[in-house]
Structure 1
Amino acid sequence: MKDINIDKADLKLGNKEFYEKYGRNKTVSTHTLGCKVNQYETEAMEELFEKAGYEIVDFKDKADIYVVNTCTVTNVADKKSRQMLSKAEHTNENAIIVAVGCYAQIAKDKLENDKNIDLVIGSNNKNRIVELVEEYINEGNKINVVEDIGKTTRYENIFISKVNEKTRAYIKIQDGCNQFCSYCIIPYTRGRIRSREMSSVVDEVNTLARKGYHEIVLTGIHIASYGKDMANTSLIDLLIKLNTIKGILRIRLGSLEPNLITDEFVKQISALKKICPHFHLSLQSGCDETLKRMNRKYTTDQFFEKVNIIRKAYDNPSITTDIIVGFPGETDKEFNDTMDFVKKIGFSGIHVFKYSMRKGTPAAARKDQINPKIKTERSHILSSEEKRIRNDFLQKFINKDVVVLFEEETIIDGKKCYFGFTENYIKVKVINDNNIQNQQLKATIVKIENDYLVGSI
């Protein structure tokens, strides 16, 4: 691509005229911060630009338009969002800079006053990204499209028909959250729960299946609430529909609230053979007093019961979780209670987070904040325990046969290797001369290497 400085005014030219003048299409560069939902939405926005005749280029390249899909889950995420917007402006001072997403939602006034930002689009209206950019191009006036997200009741329709990965596709099925955990800003930036029409989800999955994708991961801000804002629709109804789609071999669930897990729910999903036995249940703390301060709506005894329901229905299911250490008021005893509970559950993996104060949340207003050094120490202790229990889980599969969906080909020490994942989300490596990418095959596990299994087929 030619690196040519252009004036913003020339973006008003039609696609044909622009190409004739500059020898290239108008270019768009995107950058995503934060969660899988943001990644999905960025890919959907890229598709909208491509359909309108724009070319997507790498974020480090000089582009005509930069779109930064921002995150605000922590103060660090805010800082990174500002840094990436600034980086775009420094890469090409003549470019159009678009701030979109959660940080744009909550910092709309600050971004409105930033002379380097041309468009501010909140948590909704991502499906209008091309229309809004072209409105700015034609009129030249700064655009700020940030709704009162707390009053938004419609799910924003946004779709993908291709993804960057070659095997697995993430599918957004809902937005918003009604939980209001005391540490979390998301309900204020994403609004209340809004579910996507089941027919829309099914259509998208059918499209991806026809293009050769074999695994889908259902994602959203709070997927356990899917259908609660709709008549006669629930998450299990959607799963039953998706389970029938030809070409889809696996359906993986994103992060779940523990209270979704009941005997009836697990009985229903265990009868659906494409549902993967991998459950990410957000714990956050293994201490009841801490959970209460977090406004989490379960106890450790209830969580333990949910895990047992899953383990009765599946052989060696993978149960992973998130845990926050150093939450305001967390005493040594409370942290030790969490450590004891982690050992009791025997997770297959833990994402460990140090509590990060988020302005605007009840937890940030508390006076009993924990010293950063103590947070770091507790994080190291829990991370060490995570490595031990992860190894214990992996040991169960030595000399066992597992089914692997292979995704990635690479060369290691001159040998062709393939990496893939088991149904319960364990990474597996095999050495094989044949092309087995995007194939689901049985492998016999021979050893543990780093944080994955090594097998033969």
Structure 2
Amino acid sequence: MKKAALHNLGCKVNAYETDAMQKLLKEGGYEIVPFSEVADVYIINTCSVTNMADRKSRQMIHKAKKKNPEGIVIATGCYVQTSLEDAKKDLAIDIIIGNNKKCELISIIEAYEKSKEEQIEYIDINSTNEYEGLSISSTAEHTRAYIKVQDGCNQFCSYCIIPYARGRVRSRNSEEVLEEVRKLVENGYKEVVLTGIHLSSYGIDLEEENLLKLIIKVNEIEGIERIRLGSLEPRIITEEFVESISSLEKICPHFHLSLQSGCDETLKRMNRHYTTDEYLEGCNILRKYFENPGITTDVIVGFPGETEEEFNSTKEFLEKVHFSEMHIFKYSKRKGTKAAEMVNHIAEDIKTRRSNELIRLEKKLNKEYMESYIGKETEILIEEELNLNGIVYQTGHTKEYIKAAVEDFENEMDSNQIIKGKIKKILTDKMILLTKIH
């Protein structure tokens, strides 16, 4: 039996597509082995969100060829989609598969084995309306399944290469999504996360479909106990949308609303399509319909032209919203984007200082959010065992996506169980302790 190894870089959509390619390989008779082992076929699902992601993608490609010079090395995903000419010159790559072509993986490998000539399967991703038909029935995670429902983006933020790597918005047929959820239920999954490149755009290219309708349909599937939503565009958070999802018992009150900056002038340069006032209104709506929801975000510091005053505006805004968790990134110049051509790029030492300030603020806000749940009853979905200072815990997440641990005195808890308990205290920087309710 031939062996195949896969390595994923980048986002949750990439992770889904890697799982889907693994499914195709298994169905094609391959044994799946860890990427560190010698294999007949290596697949690197690349990322191109930053120049560093490009570099990591190339490193993993060369690592695979070094591991087995006789093996077939396949580079797929966003790096090869945006840097085709560079990929063609890379002698470590035997097969190049662009986005929207991963579903043809097995036939592409067979064509290479017959011809022994480099295979390049690549389309102009900006000229297709076709949603790529990939599916999964299990994932690398054993309790939570990410389900890709949408691809592409029409936003063209000035710092972002992804619209060029992923093309325009393309949505998956809702019946295919529901069928996949049912299969995952059959395989024991209790929690699904609806995800996409620009999830909020789901359905704009389909007749009579939108994200809200899809969520309602998934909520009706028996066996699914939790529904999470991937990153959302702030403008989708309307009174109608939030009131509707708040009536669905399976929806987890954890919302990742991408912010990027808390300063209106910076948001304009980023080509983000909302103001801080509109963003704050969305957070207020969420808090109106959900009690103390988890609201998380991404923030870029040191965007070209960001003055000290603009940075301070961002910092004040973050405190005003009082996020439960924030992901802080230093702006990284990405070749091929409008932001890369802007003037007034910020010095690295200034970006580092600003990043460190926001990381300190993030720790403070996150701690305050976790403390707000001490003494309250909640439930977690058990995911894995953790040995901390000699004590065995079972860990998982609350619906608000707070990581929680429960002491496993009787060793009776299996993963994928929902456990009810009371939050006792903060156990570590990013984890609370739950006392099980018998």
Task: Please indicate the TM-score interval, normalised by the length of the shorter structure.
Answer: over 0.9
Q: Secondary structure at the match of 2:182?
A: helix
Please say if 1:445 is aligned against 2:411.
no
Distance of 2:118 and 2:359 partners within structure 1: 46
Of 411, 429, 433, the residue aligned with 1:454 is 433
Per-residue deviation, 1:98: 0.5
Please say if 1:170 is aligned against 2:143.
no
Per-residue deviation, 1:413: 4.3
Per-residue deviation, 1:435: 2.0
1:108–1:144 CA contact under 8 A, matched in 2: no
What is aligned with 2:48?
A: 72
Q: Secondary structure at the match of 1:87?
A: helix
What is aligned with 1:315?
A: 291
Per-residue deviation, 1:165: 1.6
1:162–1:208 CA contact under 8 A, matched in 2: yes
Please say if 1:115 is aligned against 2:91.
yes
Please say if 1:289 is aligned against 2:261.
no
Distance of 2:111 and 2:180 partners within structure 1: 29
Structure 2 matches for 1:268-283, cutoff 5 A? 268-283=244-259
Equivalenced residue count is 433
Q: Which has the larger radius of gyration?
A: 1
What is aligned with 2:104?
A: 128
Q: Secondary structure at the match of 1:324?
A: strand
Per-residue deviation, 1:414: 4.3
Deviates more, 1:190-199 or 1:129-138: 129-138
Runs of 4+ more than 6 Å apart:
none
Distance of 2:7 and 2:153 partners within structure 1: 24
Distance of 2:90 and 2:353 partners within structure 1: 39
Question: Which consecutive unaligned segments of at least 5 residues does structure 2 have?
Answer: none
Distance of 2:186 and 2:301 partners within structure 1: 44
What is aligned with 2:243?
A: 267
Distance of 2:82 and 2:369 partners within structure 1: 41
Distance of 1:177 and 1:375 partners within structure 2: 28
Distance of 2:132 and 2:28 partners within structure 1: 20
The residue identity in structure 2 corresponding to 1:47 is K
The residue identity in structure 2 corresponding to 1:449 is L
TM score, norm. by length of structure 2? 0.98
The residue identity in structure 2 corresponding to 1:440 is I
Structure 2 matches for 1:340-359, cutoff 5 A? 340-359=316-335
Q: Secondary structure at the match of 2:287?
A: helix
Question: Which consecutive unaligned segments of at least 5 residues does structure 1 have?
Answer: 1-24
Per-residue deviation, 1:410: 3.1
Distance of 1:28 and 1:78 partners within structure 2: 23
1:304–1:345 CA contact under 8 A, matched in 2: yes
Per-residue deviation, 1:411: 3.4
Deviations 1:242-289 (A, max 9, x none): 001111000000000000000000011111111110000000000000
What is aligned with 1:43?
A: 19
Of 194, 201, 214, the residue aligned with 1:238 is 214
Identity %: 52
Q: Secondary structure at the match of 2:113?
A: helix
What is aligned with 1:190?
A: 166
What is aligned with 1:386?
A: 362
Over the aligned positions, Cα root-mean-square deviation in angstroms equals: 0.9
Per-residue deviation, 1:415: 3.8
What is aligned with 1:12?
A: none
What is aligned with 1:22?
A: none
Distance of 2:304 and 2:343 partners within structure 1: 8
1:405–1:438 CA contact under 8 A, matched in 2: yes
Deviations 1:406-449 (A, max 9, x none): 11123344443100111110111011221242111211111102
Distance of 2:407 and 2:6 partners within structure 1: 35
1:251–1:274 CA contact under 8 A, matched in 2: yes
